[in-house]
Amino acid sequence: MYARITNLTVYPERLDEMLGRMEEVQDQVAQIPGLQYWFTTSNRETGEGVGIAIYDSKESADAAASTAQELLASFGEYFLKPPEVIEQGVDGFVTNA
């Protein structure tokens, strides 16, 4: 497994608007080959948050990089500062599902 972690800071007053827009692209995100999980977190007071995408492999993450960048760029109007993207392997994973 491989992770793309994106640290975000958005305008707090526009967070709900951005989350609504995220719902609109969920089907598009779900079609990304190799993507296993995608979730986000947010602090409503500061606008800080994290987006985490888990892929089945580094190769899948690399193949999806341009699509991920395009999607991220489409949310640019909500960002208070440029997102920071970190990519790394997943060393452990636990699920109770």
Residues 6+ apart with CB under 8 A from 17: 78
Q: What pLDDT score does 93 carry?
A: 82
pTM: 0.88
- Give me the number of domains the chain comprises: 1
Residue 7 lies in a domain: yes
- 96 within domain boundaries: no
Q: Where are the alpha helices (DSSP H) in 1-97?
A: 15-30, 58-73
Q: Could you tell me if residue 9 is inside a domain?
A: yes
Q: Which domain holds residue 37?
A: 2-88
Q: What is the pLDDT of residue 96?
A: 81
44 inside domain: yes
CATH number of the structural domain spanning residue 19: 3.30.70.100
**Residue 94 within any structural domain of the chain:** no
Structure confidence at residue 13 (pLDDT)? 96
Residue 36: CB atoms within 10 A of its CB come to 16
Determine the pLDDT at residue 59.
97
Is position 95 within any domain? no
- Distance between CA atoms of residues 16 and 81, nearest Å: 18
Does 24 map to a domain?
yes
Residue 10 belongs to some domain of the structure = yes
pLDDT < 50: residue spans in the chain:
none
